[in-house]
């Protein structure tokens, strides 16, 4: 089961915004941290059903590990002050 990293940032209005560094354009939000995590799980499942890779294939790309992401300066900068959460995804058979 792949594990995707979600980055959660709280904005000035108090909303918890979620993004996935390995899934550009996939975002969601919640009014609480717990709600944001639940929304992240649901959004990941929903996105998997419609995901198209640049080569035309379907299925979510293989996620990077947290260690690989830590070596990514863009992620490290974005994660500063945020919450990093692991979201397990079990593809439908």
What is the β-pairing status of strands 27-30 and 16-19? antiparallel
- What is the C-alpha to C-alpha distance for residues 52 and 25, in angstroms, rounded to an integer? 12
* In the chain, where the domains are located: 3-88
pLDDT digits (tens, 9 = 90+) for 11-41: 999 999 999 999 988 999 999 999 999 999 9
CATH class, domain 3-88, is: alpha beta
Percent of the chain with pLDDT over 90: 61
> pTM for the full model?
0.86
Place of tokens 């975002």: 27
- DSSP summary character for residue 61: P
């Amino acid at each position: 089961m792949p594990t995707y990293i979600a980055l959660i940032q709280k904005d000035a209005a108090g909303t918890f915004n979620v993004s996935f560094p390995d899934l550009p354009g996939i975002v969601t939000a919640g009014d609480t941290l717990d709600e944001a995590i639940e929304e992240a799980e649901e959004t990941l499942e929903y996105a998997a059903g419609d995901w198209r890779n640049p080569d035309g294939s379907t299925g979510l790309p293989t996620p990077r590990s947290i260690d690989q992401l830590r070596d990514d300066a863009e992620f490290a900068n974005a994660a500063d002050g945020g919450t990093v959460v692991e979201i397990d995804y079990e593809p439908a058979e």
